[in-house]
Amino acid sequence: MTAQIQVEKLVKEYRVHERGAGAWASLRSLFKRQYRAARAVDELSFSIAAGERVGFLGPNGAGKTTTLKVLSGLLHPTAGTVRVDGFDPRKRDFDFLRRITLVMGQKQQLLWDLPPVDTFAMNRAIYDIPRREFDETVAELTTLLDLGPLIKRPTRQLSLGERMKCELVAALLHRPKVLFLDEPTIGLDVSMQLTMRAFIRDYNERFGATVLLTSHYMDDVAALCPRVVVIDKGRLIYDGDLAALVRKVRPQKRVVVRLSDGKTETHDVPDGELQSCIAKLLQRGVVDLTVEDPPLEDVMRDLFLGNHAA
């Protein structure tokens, strides 16, 4: 299968000013500055096929957002090669920009004092979207996200969840084929997170769009991404099936039982001992019993702490 996103030995370094502590060091830095190269992304390689939904995971400072900015052309790589849908992102060709979108949960493109519909109109002009296609897309997306008359209210009057839904509409008006989503559900309540996940999945399936998603909410990843690319300190540490990663890092199941005396117990049980564990628990007056995979947060924590090599 042809790769729609291709990253080969990507390196991104920043020039960082270094200054010692104290007044004398501050004064000296005014006349002679010392710098060091800080490597945010370190020879990172992976590829993603058209239509895939891939989670891009790592701890804070791992290089996720930097990589997404390189893929969207906002940053230029220090070394290595990047191709997105056949384009070199750093050239920022118009045809390339029409094929991608970057949604950052902590940034917004909506104009604060104007209603979202005005931002939509501005994006129609920027992307040269035909009027009929624009009207159809706005109607379709606002219906899917249940926005209704909200798009005509000033952005400053909208809640965070309402603004994020409008952000997605603005980002998808040109029907991009590649979605770079950086924390798209950050700060949203549980209900709104479910709405956003369902919308992203629907867009992916309806238009065959490729999705590369970062999130610190592991429920986002579990619900949307069969495959994950995991990096730490800018380096690749895992690329593959999410379920396989869970089994490899934590080869056990979590058994939660509610007993007849009202107590609830949680047991982490190795796969080979699951049947015998359940048989013993059932002899104790079990009212309810569930068997689950270990929480994805625990799996990621073990992976990043080096408790298990992926």
- pLDDT tops 70 at residue 281: yes
Same domain, 85 and 44: yes
Phi-psi region at 57: left, alpha or beta (left = phi > 0; alpha = psi -120 to 50): beta
Question: Looking at residue 67, what is its pLDDT?
Answer: 97
Range of the domain at 258: 251-293
Task: Please tell me the least confidently modeled range out of 4-8, 18-22, 55-59, 61-65.
Answer: 18-22
- pLDDT tops 90 at residue 41: yes
3-class SS at 276? Answer: helix
Query: Pick from 269, 270, 188, 249: which is nearest to 57 by CA?
Result: 249
Record the tokens describing residue 7, joined without a space.
Answer: 């990253």
Same domain, 276 and 165: no
pTM for the model? 0.86
Same domain, 180 and 162: yes
Long-range contacts, stretch 68-75, CB < 8 angstroms, 24+ apart: 68/102, 68/180, 68/182, 68/212, 68/214, 69/102, 70/10, 70/12, 70/41, 71/5, 71/7, 71/100, 71/180, 71/212, 72/100, 72/102, 72/180, 73/97, 74/102, 75/12
- How many CB atoms within 10 Å of residue 170? 23
d(CA 44, CA 7): 7
Query: Which tens digit of pLDDT belongs to each residue from 95-131?
Result: 999 999 999 877 788 988 999 999 999 999 999 999 9
Same domain, 88 and 213: yes
Indicate which CATH number applies to the domain containing 207: 3.40.50.300
Phi-psi region at 151: left, alpha or beta (left = phi > 0; alpha = psi -120 to 50): alpha
Q: Does the residue 304 lie in any domain?
A: no
Same domain, 256 and 240: no
- pLDDT tops 80 at residue 1: no
Q: Does the residue 310 lie in any domain?
A: no
Strands 53-57 and 227-232: parallel
Number of compact structural domains in the chain: 2
Instruction: Estimate to the nearest angstrom the gap between the alpha carbon of 74 and the chain centroid.
Output: 17
Task: Please tell me the least confidently modeled range out of 69-83, 91-105, 156-170, 295-309.
Answer: 295-309
Same domain, 242 and 162: yes
Q: Does the residue 94 lie in any domain?
A: yes
Question: Looking at residue 307, what is its pLDDT?
Answer: 52
Confidence of residue 282 (pLDDT cuts 50, 70, 90): confident
Same domain, 207 and 227: yes
Helix (H) or strand (E) holding 297: helix 296-304
